[in-house]
Every structure is written in C-alpha cells, then in structure tokens.
Amino acid sequence: MFSEEDYIMWLTRIKGIGPAKIKSMIDYFESAENIWFASSSTLRKVSALNENNIQSIISAKDEKIINSYIDELKREDIKFIALNNKNFPYLLKNIPEPPIGIYVKGVLPSDDTAKVSIIGARRCSEYGASNAYKIAKELACNNIIVVSGMADGIDSMAHRGAIDGNGITIAVLGNGVDICYPSGNKSLRDKILKSGCIISEYPPKTLPYAAHFPARNRIISGLSKAVAVIESEKRSGTLITVGQALEQGRDVFAMPGNINSKLSEGTNELLKQGAYVLTETNDILNILGIENKKNNKNISSSEKNISLAYNEKLVYDCISLEPITLDEIIVKTNLKIQSIQYILTVLELNGYIQRLSGQKYIRSL
Amino acid sequence: MLSKVLSCALTGIDGYFVDVETDVSRGLPGFDIVGLPDSAVKESRERVRTAINNSGFNFPIKRITVNLAPANTRKEGPAFDLPMAVAILICIDEIKNESVEDTVIMGELSLDGTVKAINGVLPMIHNAYKAGIKKCIVPFENGEEAALIDGIEVIGIRNLKELVEHLTIKKLKPIKVCVDEIFKNENMKYNYDFSDVKGQENVKRALEIAAAGMHNVLMIGPPGSGKTMMAKRLPSILPDLTFKESIEITKIYSVAGLLKDKNSLITKRPFREPHHTISNSAMVGGGRIPKPGEVSLSHNGVLFLDELPEFQRNVLEELRQPLEDRQVTISRVNATMTFPANLMAVASMNPCKCGYYGYSDKCRCTINEVSKYRGKISGPLLDRLDIQVEASAVDYEELNSSKKAESSADIKKRVIQAQNIQKERYKNENIYFNSQLSASQIEKYCTLGKSEIKLLEIAFEKLDLSARAYHKILKIARTIADLSDSKHIHNEHIAEAVQLRNLDRKFIY
C-alpha cells in the first residue's frame, strides 16, 4: 500500500497532467488514492481530462512504476512534500495556484525564519552583481533566508552572498532538482545544499523548458515575505515574478539604478509604480520588522578600517564601488604603471579590491 | 665538344651546386635537357636559343645535350638559362672555357638576351662562398644582394652580349656594397612610434616586458582599443638587427621572392600580419617543394595574429611546434626542410563574439558563449603565449592627460639593457632569453626568497590561478626584474607578473 503523498507524487509524474488537472481530479475523487483505483469510465467524468490523459493515467497504474519512483527519490535523497503535508511551506500554500507538491533536495528550513527573495536579470552589470551579493550577505547575517533561482547573474550572486554571510539559501528551479542548470553553477549548487535546499515543482529528470520558468517564479515569490528586485530590463522574467508577487500580496523592493542604463529600466519603472526603494538592507529589515543585528558592525567596505602605506592608500582611494579602469587610476594617482600593478596585486591579495574583466577594479564588499 | 659551367640551386633556404654540362656534337639537330628539369627549366630551350640568336651569335644547328648534375634532384625555375647559354657559347668557341672556371653563374634570360632577376640569389651565393668559390656572375638587379657576401667577386650582368664582352674583351667592375652604410641609413627608421599611443599604459608595459624577454603576447580587448596599433609599434622597441640576423632574414625573403627591389638587405625587423583566412601551408611553409611560410618570414621579428580565435583551428595548432622549437620542419615527398622561425608572436582577440564582454552593456553574449569563444584557442597554444594582457576601452580624450607618452627609443634602451643582462646570464646555456627557460632552468635562475614564495602562494590561493601559470609567472617576473636591473626577483616583480596572466584568472561575472 502507498501513502496519499505517494499517490500525489505519482500523479505529478504522469505525462500531460499538470497541476490544474490534478487539482480538478482530486476535487472530484476527494483523494489521490481514489484516482489510482478509478476506472477509465469514472475518469471520463472529470471534464478537464481528455482521452489521451485518461490513457496515460491507466497505463501508469502500475505498482512497479510507483515503486521505482519512490526508490529513485530515496536514492537521490530527494523528498516529495505534498500541498497537504504539514511541512509544506505555509506561505507557499496560500498563494493562488500553489503547486500540488514540491520536490526538495537538501533541508527545507522551517516556516519560522523569514525568507526574502532576491531576483534580477541574468545579464547584469557589476553594479547589480555586487549589490545583490552585498544585500544577500547582510540579510543572511540577520538570519534571513535568501530565496532565488540559481540562474546566472543576479541570482547566483544572491546565493553566493547568502552563503558567504553564513546564512541559509533556497534555490527554486524550473527543472528537476537532480539536474544542475545552468551547468556552470555546479559548485554553487553544492554550496547551497550544504545548509539550504533546492526546490522544484517538477519531478527529477525534468529538463529546463522555457515554459517552466514563469511557473517557477511564482514559487520564488510564494516562499518569501518580500521580493527584492536588483536589476531588470523593461521586458524580462524578473518582472513576471514581480507581477506574481503582487498577486500573492508580497512586498516588492526595487533597487534604483542609473537612468541611462538599460539594465535598470525595469527596476526604475517599478519604483515609479510605487515599489519600496531599496538602497540598503535596512530598507527590507524595517518593513519586515526585524532589527538589524549587525548595525554596529557595518560590513560594507567603505567603513572598513584598513592600514595602508601612502601609495597604497592613494591607489585604494581611487577605487570605489563603481568600476574604474587601470588607465584612470594612472591618471588620478600619477604613479608609474609598474608600481600601480604591484599595489593592485597586493590590495587584491589582501581582499580589499576585486578585479573585474576588462581591466577594471572595484572595492570588495 | 663538351663544356661545364657551375651554377646553383636551392633546397629550402640553402643553396647547392649544380653542374651545367653541355655537349654539342654532330647528329640530328636537337636540344635536350636532362637531370630532372621541371617545366620552367625545360622551357629554357626556347629562351636560350632565341636569346643567343638575338644577341648576335649563331645558335648551333647541332645535337645539343644539357645535363644538370646532380641528376637526382628536381631542378626548378629559370635560373639555369644563363649558365646554359654560356655553356653553349663555350662549345661554339665564342667564350673560352677557362674564363668561367671557378665561377658561379645564374640568371634568367629573356628572348632579346636581357638577363632578368631571380629569387634566392643570396643563399646560393652564400653557399658558393662557403665552398671557396671566388667569383660569381648574377643578374645586374641581384648584384647588390649577392655583394652582401663579403669575399666573393660579384659581376652584375644586364644582357648576354655584355657577359660575352666581359669574358672576352674587357672586364666589368665587380659590384660592391657598403653594409655599414645600408645599416646606418635605413635601420633607425620605423614608421611607427609608441609615443603615438595615448593611454593603455598596462598594454604598453606588457609589450615592453615581452620585448625584453622575447615572450609571446596575447592582447584581449574590445574593438577599437588600439591592439593592432600597439602591435605594429612593437618592432620599434626591439633591439636593432645585427648583420648576421639581417642576412638570415634576407636569405628567407630572397627564397620567397619578397625582396622588394631585388637588391636590398633587410635591415628592419619583419612585422608579418597574416589574415585569419590563411591556410596551413601559407602559415608554416609548404608546397610540393617547400617554401617558407609566415612563421619563417617573421624570423627575428614579429608575427601578429589579429583576431586569434578566427584563425582555423588546425592553423593555430600548427603554430605550436615553431613557437616551441624556433624553427619549423616541413616534410614532403620531395624533400624535408627546416626553416628558421625565431619569432615573437603577438596575438589579439576580442573578449567575446560581439567584442564588448565586460566593457559595455552592448554585449549580448551569455557566459556560455563567452567561454565557447575563448575555448577556440587550445590550452597548449595558450601555454605558449606567456603574457596575456587586457586592453581597456577608454575614451582617452575625456581623461585629458597632459602626460606625454614615452617614445619607442626610450623604451628600446631599457629593452636592450634587459636583453644584455639575459645574454650574459645565459652565456653557458643554449638560450638567450627568459622566455626560453626550461622547467629545470627556471629552478636554477628564478630563485625566490621566503616572502616571495609566500606571496606567490597567496596569489595562487586567492586568485584561483591555474597550475600552468606558475612557471609563466616566474619567467615574466625574471624579465621584469631584469628590466629594473635587479639581480633577484622581488615581491613587486612577482606582483606585476601576476597581473599579466589574465586568462588564468576566473572572474565571477
């Protein structure tokens, strides 16, 4: 015999049956177990199903198949949590069209800790990337869980920031949790799994189809109390997430950007429409009613107390959070190229500055 | 009657003697050439016959047989026209055989008896000189080229009639060139100077270091950042050519037929800039009878590979051997030849397909596309490009610096000094420059103090450098130390070297 949750898991894995159809079937049959035992003629009474769906359900009715699914989850260390499970995230349960169940790899944090999602474009500027990192890190330091989508750009930087702030972070994927997408994020994925988890509504081995991503986005915002948009273009997946967040009644924060930058058009537009202004982590903490524990120890580098030699200070002072090129440093400091190269290496090795591609430098965070 | 005239042919960039044996005897009139002539040599018959007739002599209506000995190598080109004509004239007693004894003769004839210039005169005369020959007769246009070899009497000939007069009635004056004069007049003149380049200080510095240690360089930067401009100025900071180097290059150009006015010694370092559609054999050399390719034509100079990832993969892979061995060996059915290829490779590339990754919002490339683009250059080739430097995209006018850029002559002084230090240091090794150091030689010559080792360790750990960077950084640091006339490698040298290994670094975004 199988548990009700197993039957739901079984339903999510039948081809051509999405959350809406599952929901109408469960409404009709009152439990997933009843669907397992239903005949094709009774299934036909569910108006949402077409003949192909019914055939798929009938042919999937095999104890071997359901057992293989259960074994696979065990082997891959993946948990399936159905909507009616008491461990199902509370906030997510109450969104319009919640997922029937979620697959979780890693440890699902409890509902008690506040979650904030940080989202933004895959293609981002240094401005966006460094601030996503910084805010995620500061949130993590305040024991807030950072939720994002593990995509390139802002998402990755948010996860990194949270990990470096020794916090927990959750990645929500548009593919099976056993697949690493984008494949370049393998090491990041491992780090996320150390303390946090990876969540997907899709069964293992599902490939990342474009159509999955808007649906994935509703889970990102659904899990969190607030959504922070770091950088986004005018038409982007990020703004879809914002739309869903508003529908779900989440607070939306947007980080203002350069008005000439394409990459900030979306966020600036959100601000115009009345989103909360995000210029520091405290903006989020205040709305959530959380006191900044690290208030006295500001971790942003502008206040970092570092002792440097005269020339090193000269070079360090040129470098801010806006990227600066080597040529500009030369003009500003009037030092010889060889000594600047030396100082830059020393500063970088000491962790005071970071080098970006394009022979540019910024202060590290 | 039998006659024998000495001539020369080429294999690779070396000459060898060819005896032109000619017999004129009674029999059915005819003109045969044996000794593996190719079609240009076979056609000599017509040119020789007409030229002799049009120079006021009577071509013998007899059975003529010419043998080009050694008979087992294939002879090509029109250079045997003149020796054949001379041999026939000897047979009909217009010239005495003794008058051309121990004389090398070469040249192409035109139908009216004019002698035309040929390729490869310098290496052939050089070979003759080494074998102890004292006299040579070459086309007038090739005269100065041949006269570069001191110690051999060079007679430049304009036409066949003049040659006969020279050998019978009155002697022509041998051609002389003053090598020092050529060097003085032309050597210092480069059209480009580094003082034209404003900004890009780090790239200029990288090129200076590259020139000092003969390191190969890769420049990465967006379009319009001046990569080509700076590469073109590189020869102007390399030390002047020595006479020996100059002869080496001139020989190669002579064989390739690239000596512009057929009489000049190449006194400037070559700068070759092949287009990225170049084929394999044009790059390293090739052909049925191998001819030197771009790598050899940039011998003792600079080979500039613009848009490196656009080159065909196999062409780039072929470069590995010449860059390592400083010579290139080409094997064909007919011959296996070795050409020198002691060059400095300078390559340039964009950071991504569209050219603006990391420089501008314009870039639409995904991270995967960027790594795919950079992946077009294989690891082994990248290994041979010691210095990898990023050019920044900056509108320098905006910075409005009053600082005047340094001229090539000033940079050159430092480069020469650093190269002299290296030559002195490696006088007992078989190398000249830091870039040629082998792993064991690095251990010997690039010793580090405690704090330097520590710095390098931290750099590797913090910057996520790849293992192959280790030896490169040491070599570059050695060159930087030489440039500042420092006996030991110090922290600042290593720190600067670390900045010159860009592609080893893994950037987050």
State the CATH number of the domain containing residue B461: 1.10.8
* Alpha-carbon distance A345 to nearest alpha carbon in chain B (angstroms): 6
Q: How many helices (H) and strands (E) does chain A have?
A: 17, 12
Residue A299's pLDDT is 47
- DSSP code of A262? G
Residue B96's pLDDT band, with cuts at 50, 70 and 90, is very high
Interchain contact A153–B (C-beta under 8 A): yes
**Domain co-membership, A271 together with A310:** no
Mean pLDDT of A298-311: 63
Residue A298's pLDDT is 47
Q: Output the 3-class SS for B405-460.
A: CCCHHHHHHHHHHHHHHHHHHCCCCCCCCHHHCCHHHHHHHCCCCHHHHHHHHHHH
**Domain co-membership, A49 together with A186:** no
CATH number for the domain including A150?
3.40.50.450
Which chain A residues are closer than 8 Å to B455 by Cβ? 349
Answer yes or no: do A152 and B367 touch at CB < 8 A.
Answer: yes
**Domain co-membership, B313 together with B404:** yes
Mean pLDDT value across chain A: 88
Q: Rounded distance, CA A327 to CA A361, Å?
A: 11
Token readout for A239 is: 């703004």
pLDDT digits (tens, 9 = 90+) for A187-225: 899 999 998 999 999 999 999 998 899 899 999 999 999
Residue A62 inside a domain? The answer is yes
**Domain co-membership, B155 together with B200:** no
**Domain co-membership, B159 together with B12:** yes
Chain A residue with minimal CA distance to B506?
A357
Residue B402's pLDDT is 61
Answer yes or no: do B394 and A129 touch at CB < 8 A.
Answer: no
Residue B175 inside a domain? The answer is no
Q: Residue A156: how many CB atoms within 10 A of its CB?
A: 26
Q: Rounded distance, CA B51 to CA B45, Å?
A: 10
**Domain co-membership, A198 together with A59:** no
pLDDT digits (tens, 9 = 90+) for B200-237: 889 999 999 999 999 999 999 888 888 999 999 999 99
pLDDT digits (tens, 9 = 90+) for A115-172: 999 999 888 877 888 889 989 999 999 999 999 999 988 999 999 999 989 999 999 9
Q: Residue A30: how many CB atoms within 10 A of its CB?
A: 10
Give the one of B361, B401, B403 whose C-beta lies nearest to A261's C-beta: B361
Chain B residue with minimal CA distance to A351?
B462
Interchain contact B202–A (C-beta under 8 A): yes
Give the one of A261, A327, A331 whose C-beta lies nearest to B392's C-beta: A327
Last residue of a domain, one of A288, A316, A332: A288
Residue B403's pLDDT is 65
Residue B76's pLDDT is 87
Chain B residue with minimal CA distance to A328?
B399
**Domain co-membership, B462 together with B412:** no
Which chain B residues are closer than 8 Å to A150 by Cβ? none
Instruction: With H, G, I as helix, E, B as strand and everything else as coil, classify residue B285.
Output: strand
Domain count along chain A: 3
Burial (Cβ within 10 Å: 0-12, 13-18, ≥19) of residue A120: buried
Give residues with Cβ within 8 angstroms of A67, minimum separation 6. Answer: none
Interchain contact B506–A (C-beta under 8 A): no
Residue B351 inside a domain? The answer is yes
CA distances from A188 to A68, A223, B6 (A): 29, 21, 76
CB distance B345 to B308 below 8 Å: no
| Size of chain B in residues | 509
- Strand segments, DSSP code E, in B12-158 are 14-25, 30-34, 63-69, 103-105, 108-109, 115-116, 135-139, 153-157
**Domain co-membership, A208 together with A123:** yes
Which chain A residues are closer than 8 Å to B508 by Cβ? 129, 157, 160
CATH number for the domain including B195?
3.40.50.300
Last residue of a domain, one of B424, B446, B480: B424
Residue A294 inside a domain? The answer is no
Interchain contact B93–A (C-beta under 8 A): no
- Give me the domain span that covers residue A60: 1-75
Residue B292's pLDDT is 92
Instruction: List the single best residue of B194, B198, B202, B503 to mutate versus A (max A Cβ within 10 A).
Output: B202
Token readout for A211 is: 């159509």
Interchain contact B482–A (C-beta under 8 A): no
Which chain B residues are closer than 8 Å to A127 by Cβ? none
Chain A residue with minimal CA distance to B493?
A342
**Domain co-membership, B331 together with B228:** yes
CA distances from B437 to B110, B303, B415 (A): 53, 21, 18
Interchain contact A258–B (C-beta under 8 A): no
Residue A296's pLDDT is 43
* Chain A residues 39-98 with a CB less than 8 Å from chain B: none
Residue A128 inside a domain? The answer is yes
**Domain co-membership, B337 together with B241:** yes
Instruction: With H, G, I as helix, E, B as strand and everything else as coil, classify residue A272.
Output: helix
Residue B177 inside a domain? The answer is no
pLDDT digits (tens, 9 = 90+) for B360-406: 767 777 777 887 888 888 888 888 899 999 888 766 565 555 667 88
Answer yes or no: do B459 and A125 touch at CB < 8 A.
Answer: no
* Alpha-carbon distance A183 to nearest alpha carbon in chain B (angstroms): 10
Residue A48's pLDDT band, with cuts at 50, 70 and 90, is confident
Answer yes or no: do A349 and B401 touch at CB < 8 A.
Answer: no
**Domain co-membership, A13 together with A143:** no
Residue B429 inside a domain? The answer is no
Please say if the pLDDT value at position A80 is more than 90. Answer: yes
pLDDT digits (tens, 9 = 90+) for A94-121: 998 899 999 999 999 999 899 999 999 8
State ipTM. Answer: 0.80
pLDDT digits (tens, 9 = 90+) for B258-267: 887 645 788 8
Please say if the pLDDT value at position B504 is more than 70. Answer: no
- Give me the domain span that covers residue B415: 186-424
Write the DSSP string, B239-284: PPPPHHHHHHHHHHHHHHT--TTSS----S--EE---TT--HHHHH
Token readout for B18 is: 């060819």
Please say if the pLDDT value at position A308 is more than 90. Answer: no
Last residue of a domain, one of A288, A318, A351: A288
Mean pLDDT of A27-38: 88
Residue B374's pLDDT is 84
**Domain co-membership, A175 together with A252:** yes
**Domain co-membership, A258 together with A141:** yes
* Alpha-carbon distance A175 to nearest alpha carbon in chain B (angstroms): 19
Chain B residue with minimal CA distance to A160?
B508
**Domain co-membership, A206 together with A244:** yes
Residue A297's pLDDT is 46
* Alpha-carbon distance A116 to nearest alpha carbon in chain B (angstroms): 23
Please say if the pLDDT value at position A339 is more than 60. Answer: yes
Which chain B residues are closer than 8 Å to A151 by Cβ? none
CB distance A108 to A79 below 8 Å: yes
Residue B398's pLDDT is 52
CB distance B497 to B456 below 8 Å: no
B115 - beta bridge partners? Answer: B109
CATH number for the domain including B155?
3.30.230.10
**Domain co-membership, B55 together with B134:** yes
**Domain co-membership, A191 together with A279:** yes
Which chain B residues are closer than 8 Å to A126 by Cβ? 509
Interchain contact B380–A (C-beta under 8 A): no
Mean pLDDT of A336-341: 90
**Domain co-membership, B27 together with B132:** yes
Residue A337 inside a domain? The answer is yes
Which chain B residues are closer than 8 Å to A331 by Cβ? 399, 401, 403
Interchain contact B394–A (C-beta under 8 A): yes
**Domain co-membership, B354 together with B459:** no
Residue A98 inside a domain? The answer is no
CATH number for the domain including A12?
1.10.150
Which chain A residues are closer than 8 Å to B368 by Cβ? 182, 184
CB distance B255 to B292 below 8 Å: yes
Task: Using alpha carbons, select from B275, B263, B310 the residue that is nearest to residue B145.
Answer: B263
Residue B508's pLDDT is 46
**Domain co-membership, A267 together with A322:** no
Residue B374 inside a domain? The answer is yes
Last residue of a domain, one of B424, B452, B479: B424
Interchain contact A301–B (C-beta under 8 A): no
**Domain co-membership, B204 together with B71:** no
* Alpha-carbon distance A150 to nearest alpha carbon in chain B (angstroms): 14
Residue B232's pLDDT is 92
Interchain contact B463–A (C-beta under 8 A): yes
Answer yes or no: do B495 and A345 touch at CB < 8 A.
Answer: yes
Give the one of B394, B480, B508 whose C-beta lies nearest to A327's C-beta: B394
Answer yes or no: do A182 and B391 touch at CB < 8 A.
Answer: no
Residue B279 inside a domain? The answer is yes
* Chain A residues 181-240 with a CB less than 8 Å from chain B: 182, 184
- DSSP code of B194? G
Write the DSSP string, A132-190: HHHHHHHHHHTTPEEEE---TTHHHHHHHHHHHTT--EEEEESS-TTS-SSGGGHHHHH
Interchain contact B197–A (C-beta under 8 A): no
**Domain co-membership, B16 together with B134:** yes
Last residue of a domain, one of B424, B459, B482: B424
Q: Rounded distance, CA B224 to CA B227, Å?
A: 8
**Domain co-membership, B408 together with B447:** no
Answer yes or no: do A338 and B492 touch at CB < 8 A.
Answer: yes
Give the one of A325, A327, A344 whose C-beta lies nearest to B499's C-beta: A344
Residue A358 inside a domain? The answer is yes
CA distances from B78 to B38, B43, B45, B84, B138 (A): 10, 8, 11, 11, 13
Interchain contact A327–B (C-beta under 8 A): yes
**Domain co-membership, A276 together with A130:** yes
Residue A300's pLDDT band, with cuts at 50, 70 and 90, is very low
Least confident of A334-338, B22-26, B370-374: B370-374
Phi, psi of B217 (to 5 degrees): -125, 145
Residue B423's pLDDT is 93
pLDDT digits (tens, 9 = 90+) for B284-332: 998 877 889 999 999 999 999 999 999 999 999 999 889 988 899 998 8
Last residue of a domain, one of A56, A75, A94: A75
Give residues with Cβ within 8 angstroms of A116, minimum separation 6. Answer: A139, A144, A145, A146, A147, A224, A225, A226, A227, A228, A284, A288
Mean pLDDT value across chain B: 89
Token readout for A182 is: 């984008």
**Domain co-membership, A127 together with A249:** yes
A with B: how many residue pairs have Cβ under 8 Å apart? 103
Residue B400 inside a domain? The answer is yes
Domain count along chain B: 3
Token readout for B156 is: 């430049």
Answer yes or no: do B491 and A342 touch at CB < 8 A.
Answer: yes
* Alpha-carbon distance A2 to nearest alpha carbon in chain B (angstroms): 44
